Amino acid sequence: MTAIELAIGPCLFNWSPEHLTDFYARIADEAPVERVYLGEVVCGKRMPFSDPVWPQVIERLQRAGKTVVLSSLALPATVRERKAMIGLAEAGLPLEFNDMSMLATTAPGPFVAGPFLNVYNEAALGALVRHGASDWCPPVEVPLASIAAVARAHPQVTVELFAFGRLPLALSGRCYHARAHGLSKDSCQFVCEKDPDGMNVATLDKARFLAVNGIQTLSDSCQVVTLGPERLMENGVSRLRLSPHTVDMVEVARAYRDLLDGTASEAETEARLTAMDLPGPPCNAALAGEAGWRQVAL
């Protein structure tokens, strides 16, 4: 049986350089994952603070035998950010494209089609394969049946399923996180750093609703997908993505590794994960084609 890989996705939140360094040191030394994505995906204003950390982090992860992939911004909006994307392409490491403009920025070569790209069917993925896509992390709202159909049409592509973490739903040119604190986007004071798992948003009736991370909207719920290796392979999935949060991500990775190695059942793994201090209630129903905030039997 082909082994299912584990990957740590890019950190979506505004963590301090010290937090990032400590986090990836533990991932390098303790987490049973094969691949780690690095880079700022959400807000280019954060890059001057996080960019100096990456060379040290990359060296530490590679020394531990991890494959390092650099993730692009999902909404580059300035000349500086576009130049940063060109620099990313010149770094000599595998890349994840989260914006279609990366196709014009980089020379042809293998890349990961990230979950921020609008790839919902066989034709869309086929177009990216012709440009060099070798891996695909589907948008989080794509049902498992659709993922399986696309995977069957492109068996040469490695499919990576977003299995854990708050679901990245949308990006905006405006920053609600700043606005909620009476600030503008241009003078945001990086207030998003106060919410390392995103800022909880409630309805007028005080019901939990969504989460905000700078210009990004996330689910309030936390994706927890605990399909076993046989069921994953039946649907064309050969890698799981775990999105970083302040919960102990080493323990999260160990729980998934036990599941994929067959030493823990799907039910045992779900119980183990939901007993942790997750940022929100568990969910997985988008994979069943239902309202994504719910947790259902897949």
When the pLDDT of each residue in the chain is averaged and rounded to a whole number, the result is 95
In a domain, 295, yes or no: no
Binding residues for [4Fe-4S] cluster: 43, 175, 188, 192
pLDDT (0 to 100) of residue 89: 83
> What is the CATH number for 255?
3.20.20.70
Name residues whose C-beta falls within 8 Å of residue 275's C-beta, 6 or more positions apart in sequence: none
Asked whether residue 13 carries a pLDDT value surpassing 90, the answer given is yes
In a domain, 210, yes or no: no
In a domain, 55, yes or no: yes
- Alpha carbon distance 197, 235 (integer Å): 30
In a domain, 40, yes or no: yes
Asked whether residue 245 carries a pLDDT value surpassing 80, the answer given is yes
In a domain, 238, yes or no: yes
pLDDT (0 to 100) of residue 2: 59
Tens-place pLDDT, residues 220-236: 999 999 999 999 999 99
pTM of the model: 0.96
Q: At what angle do helices 17-30 and 249-260 cross, to 10 degrees?
A: 30
Tens-place pLDDT, residues 35-45: 999 999 999 99
What's the domain count of the chain?
Answer: 1
Owning domain of residue 133: 5-170+221-288
In a domain, 199, yes or no: no
Binding residues: 43, 175, 188, 192
> What is the arithmetic mean of pLDDT over 1-9?
86
Hey, is 133 helix, strand or coil?
Answer: strand
Asked whether residue 14 carries a pLDDT value surpassing 90, the answer given is yes
Answer positive or negative: Cα dihedral of 189, 16, 276, 254.
positive
In a domain, 189, yes or no: no
- Alpha carbon distance 73, 40 (integer Å): 6
In a domain, 195, yes or no: no
